[in-house]
Amino acid sequence: MTVLEARGRVGGRVHTLRGGFAAGQHAEGGGEYIDTGHRAMRGLARELGLELEDVRVGTANFDDVVYLHGRRTTQQKATTDGVGAEIDRVAAALDRLAEPLDLARPGAHGGVALDRRSVADFFDELGVDPAARPFVDHAVRDDYNVEPEQLSLLSYALDDKAAYNQPDSGVEAFRIRGGNDRLAMALRDRLGGRALHLHAPVTAIRQRSGRVTVVAGGERFRADRCVVAAPLPALRDVEFEPALPSAVAGAIRDLQYGTGVKTLLQYRSRFWRSQGFSGDTITDLPVNATWEATDRQPGTPGILLCYGVGAPGAAYGRLAPADRVDAARSDVDRIYPGSAALFSKAATLAWQNEMYTGGAYTAYAPGQVTRFARALRFPIGRIQLAGEHTDARFPGYMEGAVRSGARVARAIARLGG
């Protein structure tokens, strides 16, 4: 086996940032949370001897914050009985849309019609109360890194169907203790150094005479089969011979990815806790959302993760990194006055600016699920596609990426060389 990696590190969009944070703390610059229903990810961590930390422990006594229209309140106060009931009504309507759908055949049972509509269309047709609309819009933006009008209603409903049996308490339950990149590094160590080639961006993949030739880093690698696990935008500069099927080529060219910026702000103390808050914030400022990235890590300092996504994330991504940090720190100070005086260090990462990524993760635009989703799940001659964008159940998640790897491994074992 030979693994070709364009970057100088393994992990791709799983990227734990550690550089220079006080008290040896770290935070996730990319894929972060593992749900209780993510069985493949949890199973792989267990197989590799990695411990999960439950981020739900110890937060029961803290309030979440909502900052809208220049005013700060708590989540509990903001979601009054009327607002909470309206959010529940939207969730029930989504469940009804999702119930007849088939994850393996997304266009069946009315899926084509749903794919023509956006999530914003759905909210508009439901007549969502204006008091609740910021919360349902925010949830879409936070989960998909695009605006509700940019997201296929079919994609939204399929994801709801995939999570039917998972309680709300199981969402965003775990991280890998010591950093999520430990999983990628453990796989690297199992593989062995000679099989891994870093700084080896692929420029061509050719299938001829029952073999595959991959050109990367100026070298040619020949194999019986090839697994392509790169994000689709990264494949736009790769030459495929023969040409890929039109649906796959179209997905590489057009499939929408979310816009996501993570800015990690370390403070000398966890001021949010001293004020009785968890660090979780919903806001209409460009920073969009915050949460504590170090909730299970020791030390007096703490890292607040600022999440700029969708349209705000695009604006954040256009800023130079130092300006992005200043903007996030200023937004946090508006929500938590006086926090700027406790700021100590920062890191920031805009996935849409990353050369070998081109976006956060898959976020199907209206019409794209039925055009592309199934085409990405089938082999192309001796090429197998893997990655979160190829998984029928959990696209956009680390779970989807791990599931896709297992699917491809089973397929290759069946096919043989």
Pairwise CA distance, residues 66 & 390, whole Å: 35
Identify the pLDDT of residue 60.
Answer: 77
Strand arrangement, sheet containing 277-283: 71-74, 63-68, 277-283, 289-292, 302-309, 260-267, 343-350
Identify the pLDDT of residue 61.
Answer: 86
Nearest partner of 26 among 322, 303, 351, 300, judged by Cα:
303
Q: What average pLDDT does the structure give for the chain?
A: 95
Pairwise CA distance, residues 6 & 234, whole Å: 10
The per-residue pLDDT for range 264-320, each reduced to its tens digit, is: 999 999 999 999 999 999 999 999 999 999 999 999 999 999 999 999 889 999 999
- What domains sit in the chain, N to C, each tagged with a CATH number? 6-189+255-380 (3.50.50.60)
Q: For 268-399, where are the E strands, in sequence order?
A: 277-283, 289-292, 302-309, 343-350, 383-385
CB atoms within 10 A of CB 273: 17
**pLDDT beneath 70: ranges in the chain:** 417
Inter-CA distances, 293 with 25, 50, 279, 286, 326, Å: 9, 19, 9, 19, 19
Handedness of CA 5, 251, 155, 129 (dihedral sign): positive
Cis peptide before 245 (omega within 30 of 0): no
CB 153 within 8 A of CB 121: yes
The C-alpha angle 352, 141, 386, rounded to 5 degrees, equals: 55
Q: Check residue 32 and give left, alpha or beta (phi > 0: left; psi -120 to 50: alpha).
A: alpha
Tokens 């692929």 belong to residue? 202
Identify the pLDDT of residue 340.
Answer: 97
Q: For 25-181, where are the E strands, in sequence order?
A: 27-28, 52-54, 63-68, 71-74, 174-176
pLDDT cut 90: percent of the chain above it? 92
Handedness of CA 192, 194, 195, 199 (dihedral sign): positive
Tokens 């989703």 belong to residue? 373
Pairwise CA distance, residues 401 & 357, whole Å: 14
DSSP letter, residue 271: H
Pairwise CA distance, residues 5 & 401, whole Å: 16
Inter-CA distances, 269 with 272, 307, 322, 328, Å: 9, 20, 22, 17
Identify the pLDDT of residue 164.
Answer: 85
